[in-house]
Amino acid sequence: MLAKYSSVTAPDNFLFSVGFAAHDLSFWHALLELSKIRSREDAPTLSSTEHVIPPQTTICHPTDWHDSVPVICSGWAMSSVPMASGRQQTISFLLPGEIASTALMFGPTAGRLVQSITDVTYRAFNRSEIKAAMSKHPELLEKFSRVWIAEKLDTDQLCVDLGRRTGDERLARLILKLTKKLANRGMVRGQAFEFPLRQHQIADATGLTLVHINRVLVSFRRKGLIELDGRMLTILNADELYRIANLT
Amino acid sequence: MLAKYSSVTAPDNFLFSVGFAAHDLSFWHALLELSKIRSREDAPTLSSTEHVIPPQTTICHPTDWHDSVPVICSGWAMSSVPMASGRQQTISFLLPGEIASTALMFGPTAGRLVQSITDVTYRAFNRSEIKAAMSKHPELLEKFSRVWIAEKLDTDQLCVDLGRRTGDERLARLILKLTKKLANRGMVRGQAFEFPLRQHQIADATGLTLVHINRVLVSFRRKGLIELDGRMLTILNADELYRIANLT
DNA sequence: CGGCGACTTGAAACGTGTCAATTAGCGTGG
DNA sequence: CCACGCTAATTGACACGTTTCAAGTCGCCG
């Protein structure tokens, strides 16, 4: 695993080059700003190491101790809770700008298994430096708390999905939520976007079986709702998808 | 709804009189300590209002604006996500010492529906005062972050339960988790404790149907695992319950 | 070419939901 | 005191969604 020490100065990752919904990513932007500020000694206020990893690589183990907070810069990752039986429940998919584990902001353990899905680059920020920055710049804590609250709302909704919705609803909601997140990051072209998830990963995220996800996926295709060939997903009938998902 | 303004001075609630696992309740204790500190003007550093409410009363609506943070002092409450269909998914049951909605610590909306189950008394702390206290006393923020992380872990586990476990497992886990929480608060006598939940509330918490919960409950009774008469629950075979729940 | 992972499909079993009817408990008012 | 109406709990029969097991296809890479 490469680990290149540097402050964030080079606009080498695509986050700089695209417009975002600030809502989603203002904390990330604040981190970047702070990384560029240098104190008297010409050292960056916030240092970080860059990591480039291939697919299926573990970024955090649930109980390992870390003194840094990884933030995704490019690619897809996933955050899940492993079970004793070997199966796992995926809580969220992580896209550029997202904190791999918000628990790592305050404590040493992630509590989740975080793994890359595609090639991923991420920056690991030093936790004590982030904490120091938050007490020095209260608006940073404020921004982080918004991230945390948003994450909580998402998890709450996931509970509702898992507890109370059918397979069709769960899949439709997953697709639409991902579409929105990708759109916020300028990663959607028209109605199509890259979709690197394997069916077993969709199954882990929806609390269903690989076999059943397959059937639902096939039925969505037959109904002309989506097209999914290779790693490209196209939404053909958004209205109907929203209707199935019980979303506006 | 009664709302008696006061600082927390009278040891009138039972939290003072029992020993606790500090782990669970250190944030609450810190709040109490701070409430007793008075600044030069003889006004408490942290003010709060006390509320006494009957069962089935709403403490927070998911989207209503609040400028205070309610903390449960006595009784049982529940925190849930309502659905458009009228059903709801309960995320957690709240016992004395727990924050009704941690989201209210940083933002104006709770994001959850919080309702009393039994008679409940709670204290509503002023949010800006709490925030001020947290920036003045970093160890308070530290304690709160531990509460927040613990809550996150619980929600993650709930996702696993809802996504991947059978009705038997879910009920066994719910009973055992509640037992542990109650034991931390000294609310268990031997193997028995007061259990005010209706079957529909258990159903909402486990993502099952009232009818199905009833069947599982009956089967647990027939197997001699628990006894549940009136509002008193007794655990008769803890070992077997742990086995079903996949817990240690 | 062989092997492996991802995907697909069918048939049967299982868990849970739905509908409907019945019983028990409890406070209220006549 | 009992009848009434209400909510909570219970039970049966059946339908439905999902899992499980098993087999088979396809594409890719060594």
Q: Are A60 and A132 in contact (CB under 8 A)?
A: no
Of A14-28, A120-134, A201-215, B92-106, the least confident: A14-28
- Give the pLDDT band of residue A43 (cuts 50, 70, 90): low
Does B107 contact A153 at a Cβ distance shorter than 8 Å? Answer: no
The single-letter DSSP state of residue B104 is G
* pLDDT exceeds 70 at position B179: yes
B118 touches strand D (CB under 7 A): no
Q: How far apart are CA A223 and CA A236, in angstroms?
A: 10
Q: What is the pLDDT of residues B121-139, one digit of tens each?
A: 999 999 999 998 888 888 8
Strand partners, A109: A65
Give the residue among A12, A51, A15, A52 at the shortest CA–CA distance from A31.
Answer: A15
Q: Is B138 on the interface with A (CB under 8 A)?
A: yes
Q: Is B58 on the interface with A (CB under 8 A)?
A: no
pLDDT of residue B28: 84
Report which of residues 118-177 in chain B place their beta carbon less than 7 angstroms from any atom of strand C.
166-168
Q: What is the pLDDT of residues B47-83, one digit of tens each?
A: 889 999 999 999 999 999 999 999 999 999 999 999 9
* pLDDT exceeds 50 at position B118: yes
pLDDT of residue B43: 64
Q: How far apart are CA A198 and CA A210, in angstroms?
A: 9
Q: How far apart are CA A161 and CA A154, in angstroms?
A: 10
Six token digits for residue A187: 């990663």
- Give the pLDDT band of residue A159 (cuts 50, 70, 90): very high
Q: Is residue B95 left, alpha or beta, with left meaning phi > 0 and alpha meaning psi from -120 to 50?
A: beta
Q: Is A166 on the interface with B (CB under 8 A)?
A: no
Beta-strand (E) ranges in chain A? 2-6, 48-53, 58-60, 68-74, 77-82, 88-94, 113-116, 120-126, 192-194, 226-229, 232-235
Residues B89-99, mean pLDDT to the nearest whole number: 96
Closest partner residue to A103 (CB to CB) among B149, B162, B163 is B149
A234 CA, D26 C1': Å apart: 22
pLDDT of residue B23: 59
* pLDDT exceeds 90 at position B30: no
Residues B215-221, mean pLDDT to the nearest whole number: 96
Six token digits for residue B183: 């034991």
Report which of residues 205-244 in chain A place their beta carbon less than 7 angstroms from any atom of strand C.
210-211, 214-215, 217-218
Counting beta carbons within 10 angstroms of the beta carbon of residue B49, is it exposed (0 to 12), middle (13 to 18) or buried (19 or more)?
Answer: middle
Q: How many CB pairs under 8 A join A and B?
A: 95
Q: What is the pLDDT of residues A166-220, one digit of tens each?
A: 999 999 999 999 999 999 999 998 899 999 999 999 999 999 999 999 999 999 9
Identify the residue with better confidence: A196 or A44.
A196
Residues A16-28, mean pLDDT to the nearest whole number: 58
Backbone angles phi, psi at B111, to 5 degrees: 75, -5
Q: Is B156 on the interface with A (CB under 8 A)?
A: yes
Return the number of other C-beta atoms located less than 10 Å from residue A152's C-beta: 21
Q: Are B168 and B244 in contact (CB under 8 A)?
A: yes
Give the residue among B14, B137, B141 at the shortest CA–CA distance from B73.
Answer: B14
The percent of residues above 90 in pLDDT, for chain A, comes to: 71
Q: Is B63 on the interface with A (CB under 8 A)?
A: no
Q: What is the pLDDT of residues A53-89, one digit of tens each?
A: 999 999 999 999 999 999 999 999 999 999 988 889 9
Chain B, nearest residue to A102 by Cα: B149
- Give the pLDDT band of residue B42 (cuts 50, 70, 90): low
Following CA atoms B56, B62, B161, B171 in sequence, which dihedral angle do they give, to the nearest 10 degrees?
0
pLDDT of residue B76: 96
Does B246 contact A84 at a Cβ distance shorter than 8 Å? Answer: yes
Give the residue among A147, A150, A173 at the shortest CA–CA distance from A162.
Answer: A173
pLDDT of residue A205: 97
Q: Nearest-CA residue to the C1' of C8? A: A214
Chain A, nearest residue to B103 by Cα: A149
B189 touches strand D (CB under 7 A): no
* pLDDT exceeds 70 at position A127: yes
Q: Which residue reads 């101790």 in tokens?
A: A65
The percent of residues above 70 in pLDDT, for chain A, comes to: 88
- Give the pLDDT band of residue B40 (cuts 50, 70, 90): low
Q: How far apart are CA B6 and CA A39, in angstroms?
A: 46
Identify the residue with better confidence: A12 or A232.
A232
Q: Are B234 and B226 in contact (CB under 8 A)?
A: yes
* pLDDT exceeds 90 at position A10: no
* pLDDT exceeds 90 at position A14: no
* pLDDT exceeds 80 at position B22: no
- Chain C nucleotides near the protein (CB, 7 A): 6-11, 15-20, 26
Of B6-10, B121-125, B194-198, B213-217, the least confident: B6-10
Q: Write the CA distances from B94 to B116, B117, B121, B137, integer angstroms.
A: 9, 9, 12, 26
